[in-house]
Amino acid sequence: MRLIQNMCTIAEYPAAGSAAAAECCLGAAGRRLVKIAVVGASGVGKTALVVRFLTRRFIGDYERNAGNLYTRQVQIEGESLAIQVQDTPGIQVHENGLNCNEQLNRCIRWADAVVIVFSITDHKSYELISQLHQHVQQLHLGTRLPMVLVANKADLLHIKQVDPQLGLQLASMLGCSFYEVSVSENYNDVYNAFHVLCKEVSHKQQPSSTPEKRRTSLIPRPKSPNMQDLKRRFKQALSAKVRTVTSV
């Protein structure tokens, strides 16, 4: 859903391959930029989660999501990072699998990290997680995209359909962190879920951890044969000159 109250929507997310998308990890004022997409079934609390993280508030009244992009700054290990959070429309499930439209796929491709949300009050929203995780991985083939699984609406235990323990098991099977949260009742858990994700992306973005850089630092540079040759010739020329001087 989309937030009814007036909030800073900075832009539509750029199409993959556009100049804006290509600027990748540098945001305004040269700050490093972390781009996060929040995905999941309809009504699980994606907008509520994003709004809680950005404003600390739970408003509880939203209109259907139109795919808004929001921004905020966070401090990660002493560094101020710009974070863009993309709220997405709820994913529908059809008989032959997930129904992910191109808008959603573009958003997933654009992201450096993904928050996958389900609600403990909606078993169907839990059932689509594995497929959704697989879909995200297919859109980021060849990279290990940081992801976190969030089980929302933990305050509604009396109508729960999914045991949070199942969420934990699924997260460890998928290789991502797991947070059980109540967006309506607790800010800290929401903050922690985003914080852990930002930290992971931030570490991934560090130049020292890029494979290219690591490779160059591991393989010793061969000495240039030309340089050695030059040195040898220089020494020869020098000793010849010394000989000429002494003979005079």
Ligand X SMILES: Nc1nc2c(ncn2[C@@H]2O[C@H](COP(=O)(O)OP(=O)(O)OP(=O)(O)O)[C@@H](O)[C@H]2O)c(=O)[nH]1
Contact positions vs ligand X (CB under 6 A): 1, 42-48, 60, 62, 64-65, 89-90, 152-153, 155-156, 182-184
110: CB partners within 8 A, 6+ apart = 13, 14, 16, 21, 35, 37, 86
The least distance separating ligand X from the CB of residue 66, rounded to whole angstroms, comes to 9
The least distance separating ligand X from the CB of residue 99, rounded to whole angstroms, comes to 13
> Which CB, 22 or 159, lies closer to ligand X?
159
- Taking the alpha carbons at both ends of the chain, their separation in whole angstroms is 95
> Which CB, 33 or 150, lies closer to ligand X?
150
> Which CB, 46 or 133, lies closer to ligand X?
46
Q: Nearest Cα to 65, choosing from 43, 85, 36?
A: 43
What is the tally of helices (H) and strands (E) in the chain?
9, 10
The least distance separating ligand X from the CB of residue 89, rounded to whole angstroms, comes to 6
By the 8 A CB rule, do 55 and 7 touch?
yes
The least distance separating ligand X from the CB of residue 34, rounded to whole angstroms, comes to 21
> Which CB, 68 or 202, lies closer to ligand X?
68
Phi, psi of 16 (to 5 degrees): -60, 135
**CB environment 127-150: b (16+ within 10 A), e (fewer):** ebbeebbebbbebeeeeebbbbbb
The least distance separating ligand X from the CB of residue 40, rounded to whole angstroms, comes to 6
The least distance separating ligand X from the CB of residue 158, rounded to whole angstroms, comes to 11
**CB environment 80-104: b (16+ within 10 A), e (fewer):** ebbbbbbbbbbbeeeeeeeebeeeb
| 22 vs 220: CA distance, rounded Å | 32
Beta bridge partner(s), residue 9:
70
> Which CB, 44 or 136, lies closer to ligand X?
44
For the chain, the C-alpha Rg in angstroms (whole number) is 26
| 52 vs 198: CA distance, rounded Å | 16
Shortest Cβ contact with ligand X: which residue? 90
The least distance separating ligand X from the CB of residue 111, rounded to whole angstroms, comes to 17
| 39 vs 232: CA distance, rounded Å | 65
> Which CB, 62 or 191, lies closer to ligand X?
62
> Which CB, 45 or 146, lies closer to ligand X?
45
